[in-house]
Amino acid sequence: MRSSLLVGCFAAAKLSFAKGPFLQQTGSTQWVIGNDLWNVTQGSVYATNLQYQGSDAVKNASGHYAGYDGESNFRYTSASIVSNSSEFIDISFSSSFGDLHWVIYPELAGAYQYFVNKALPDISIFRTLWRLDPDRFTNGYTTTKDAPLPGWSLYANATEIQDETFQITDGSYVTKYDFANYVRERDFVGIYGDKSGSWYIHASNEYQPGNHLSQTLTVHRESATGDAVQLNVVQDTSHFRVGIKTPQPVGKIWGPWLWYLNDGSVEDARKRAAKERSVWPYPFLKDNAYHSRGNVKGKLVLSDKRPAGGAAVFLGDVNTSIRPLVQGSNYYYTAYADESGEFNFKHVRSGNYGLYAWSNGGVLGDVYTNFTTSIVGVTDGRTNNLRTLTWDVPKGRRQIFQVGDFDKKALGFTYGGAPNQHGLTEKVPANMTFVVGESKVSDWYYASAQLGSWDVVFSTKRPALNATALLTVSLAGYSQSTGLTIYLNGNTTIGAINKDVVTSDPAVYRSGTTSGEWHLLQYEIRASNLRDGKNVLSFKTDRYTKWRGILWDSIILEWVV
pTM here is 0.94
- Superfamily classification of domain 292-391: Immunoglobulins (2.60.40.10)
Please state the φ and ψ torsions of residue 439, each to the nearest 5 degrees: -75, 155
Instruction: Give the span between the Cα atoms of 299 and 215, in whole angstroms.
Output: 27
pLDDT at 492: 96
pLDDT at 10: 36
Question: Exposure of 409 by Cβ count < 10 A (0-12 exposed, 13-18 middle, 19+ buried)?
Answer: buried
Any idea which fold 397-560 has?
Jelly Rolls (2.60.120)
Q: What angle do CA 108, 114, 120 make, to 5 degrees?
A: 160
Which CATH architecture fits 4-290? Distorted Sandwich (2.70)
* Helix, strand, or coil (residue 188): strand
- The DSSP annotation for 481-510 comes to T-EEEEEETTTEEEEEESTTTS---STGGG
Give pLDDT tens digits along the chain (561 positions).
444 444 333 333 344 555 789 999 999 999 999 999 999 999 999 999 999 999 999 999 999 999 999 889 999 999 999 999 999 999 999 999 999 999 999 999 999 999 999 999 999 999 999 999 999 999 999 999 999 999 999 999 999 999 999 999 999 999 999 999 999 998 899 999 999 999 999 999 999 999 999 999 999 999 999 999 999 999 999 999 999 999 999 999 999 999 999 999 999 999 999 999 999 999 999 999 999 999 999 999 999 999 999 999 999 999 999 999 999 999 999 999 999 999 999 999 999 999 999 999 999 999 999 999 989 999 999 999 999 999 999 999 999 999 999 999 999 999 999 999 999 999 999 999 999 999 999 999 999 999 999 999 999 999 998 999 999 999 999 999 999 999 999 989 999 999 999 999 999 999 999 999 999 999 999 999 999 999 999 999 999 999 999 999 999 999 998
Please state the φ and ψ torsions of residue 494, each to the nearest 5 degrees: -95, -40
To the nearest 10°, report the CA torsion of 351, 357, 360, 365.
170
Query: Would you kindly state where each structural domain of the chain is located, as residue ranges?
Result: 4-290, 292-391, 397-560
Task: List the beta strands (DSSP E) in 138-227.
Answer: 139-141, 146-148, 159-162, 165-167, 173-175, 181-182, 188-192, 197-201, 215-216, 219-221
Instruction: Give the span between the Cα atoms of 472 and 66, in whole angstroms.
Output: 44
